[in-house]
Structure 1
Amino acid sequence: MLRETFKICFAHVKRHDVALTTIRLMAGHSKWTNIKHLKAEKDGCKAVLFAKISRQIRLAIQEGNSVDPALNSTLRSVIDKAVKQNVPFVTIQNVLNSFQNNKLQFTKHRLGIQYKKKVFVICIINTNNFPGFKMDATAMIRKSGGIFVDVRHIFEDFGWIKAHYAELFLFANRQTFEEKVFEDAVEFGAEDVQIVDYRSGTVNFICDPSYLIAISKRLQSSGYCVEKSEHIFYAHDLVKLTSDQHDSYKVFLKKLQILPGVENIYDNVKQ
């Protein structure tokens, strides 16, 4: 059975991307104090972003078995994303060079956390030392009021691939393009598909998460440019926090986001 409409599923997703951490001006006694605080915040966010991009590049190289973006479409997508986020090319090149001399394998892991009874969190980690990560994270999580739990009954998941067809001019009209997209979705094993923007040929494919990489590769070999693919988690029921609870949770969330190896965070908190 096909998923519920993509819009409904995705509307429930609450993802806290480390790279999108909001920078807020901290109070101080002078303009210079504020500037120093703001610069420290920006530098901290930049360091977290660069570390995250480095891990994603390493993982893309492992998955694609190549350090050449021309031969590794997953790596090419990560590099394009890094450039759009103003990561210096020299930083990207240094990561590529270091991977050739460093054979440590990065793997993705998932941690379930319950925070102060009402909030449930899924934390996606990309690391070469998961036991070490968990040991370092445990003290902070417990001190903040959280515990590790199985949250699978709280969340549902699906694979999401955002792509656009590179040669849209081959299709006479929207109808012929739609027919092509739906035929490809069926052939490649996607469970649902949505045309986001016909003018740019942008399409969302929904699939079983275990088929994300395989379907992405088939799309790329069939004329699509994959912009993003992600294993999405969304909560069945959202909880509303009081102002004080929300402020407390934001502090905990920020501590999670800066842990080395954290990629994405999903929760059941209502916006």
Structure 2
Amino acid sequence: MAGHSKWNNIKRRKGAQDAKRGKLFMKLAREIFMAAKEGGGDPEMNSNLRLAVDKAKSNNMPNDNIDRAIKKATGDLDGVHYEEFTYEGYGPEGVAVMVKVLTDNKNRTAADVRHAFNKNDGNLGENGCVAFMFDRKGYLVIDRQTTDSDEDDMLLEVIEAGAEEMETNEEQFEIFTAPEDFTEVKGALEKGGYTFQASEVTMFPSTYTPLDKEGVEKMVKLIDMLEDNDDVQDIYHNLDADDEILDELS
């Protein structure tokens, strides 16, 4: 799984830039709302809700906001109806892109997503055109400064917890799990006293597409434009960008 850190760089860059906490919390609340509406308001009995709540907490969303979203989903909804869709396409120079949305107006969202692709040298494709390039995985990140464990000790604990793989760099331990094992692995590591910089079930590309500076700049503009859309929940891509280029663009 070499390259996951590169894939995650743009996510971290965008997260560091994004001062619009209200927009982020709105998207997280919508995801919680959908999970609670479809599977009930008890995270212990609804694994999708549990994952959505964990994602919200990892982004420092207040508990009151989380509770309010669950209560809205399980109470009087005033006719609110969201649908989940995933759009697939290609960014600049053939970078594979998947866009997960929650929307109350499919036609509006489809037009907005298509416009973002067209404006940034990309094109929207048919369902399935890039999905085969991605694998769904649980993903946990531990800041090495928060633990005394060295790489060998950490690896043993990760294996014992049931994870599939671990990658290490100077700053972090990155842990990967099967989607169905994510909650169990996270719980086991939490019992061991570990806290997480990131924790989610997400999509990882099996191959990467490298771009030069001009291509990376176009791709970043596409990502920014999509993330500014309130209906867009997640964006997955297989861009391989040089860290120096990303730092310069940020």
What TM-score, normalized to structure 1? 0.59
* 1:255 partner letter: M
* 2:134 partner letter: E
For the pair 1:61 / 2:39, whether they are aligned, the reply is no
Alpha-carbon separation, structure 1, partners of 2:174 and 2:84: 26
**What SS class does the counterpart of residue 117 from structure 1 fall into?**
helix
| Deviation of 1:162 (Å) | 4.6
Give the 3 Å change call, closer, same or farther, for CA 61–85 of structure 1 in structure 2: same
**Which residue of 2, 8, 13 maps to 2:2?**
8
* 2:64 partner letter: V
For the pair 1:48 / 2:18, whether they are aligned, the reply is no
Preserved CA contact (<8 Å) 2:89 2:130: no
| Deviation of 1:257 (Å) | 0.8
What TM-score, normalized to structure 2? 0.63
Alpha-carbon separation, structure 1, partners of 2:54 and 2:117: 34
Alpha-carbon separation, structure 2, partners of 1:205 and 1:81: 16
Q: How many residues align?
A: 216
* 1:157 partner letter: D
| Deviation of 1:135 (Å) | 2.2
Alpha-carbon separation, structure 1, partners of 2:84 and 2:9: 17
The equivalent residue for 2:203 is 232
Preserved CA contact (<8 Å) 1:14 1:267: no
Alpha-carbon separation, structure 1, partners of 2:155 and 2:236: 36
- Quote the sequence identity (%): 16
**Which residue of 91, 104, 108 maps to 1:132?**
108
Point out where structure 2 has 5 or more consecutive residues left out of the alignment.
143-152, 242-250
The equivalent residue for 2:232 is 262
**What SS class does the counterpart of residue 211 from structure 2 fall into?**
coil
Point out where structure 1 has 5 or more consecutive residues left out of the alignment.
1-6, 24-40, 165-172, 186-191
* 1:91 partner letter: N
| Deviation of 1:56 (Å) | 1.9
* 2:136 partner letter: F
Alpha-carbon separation, structure 2, partners of 1:92 and 1:98: 10
Alpha-carbon separation, structure 2, partners of 1:163 and 1:14: 11
**What SS class does the counterpart of residue 259 from structure 1 fall into?**
coil
For the pair 1:110 / 2:86, whether they are aligned, the reply is yes
| Deviation of 1:87 (Å) | 2.6
The equivalent residue for 2:64 is 90
| Deviation of 1:58 (Å) | 1.4
Task: For residues 189-233 of structure 1, give each alpha carbon's deviation from its aligned partner in whole angstroms, at most 9, with x where no partner exists.
Answer: xxx723789xxxx995543xxxx3x5557x48x978798441313
* 2:125 partner letter: V
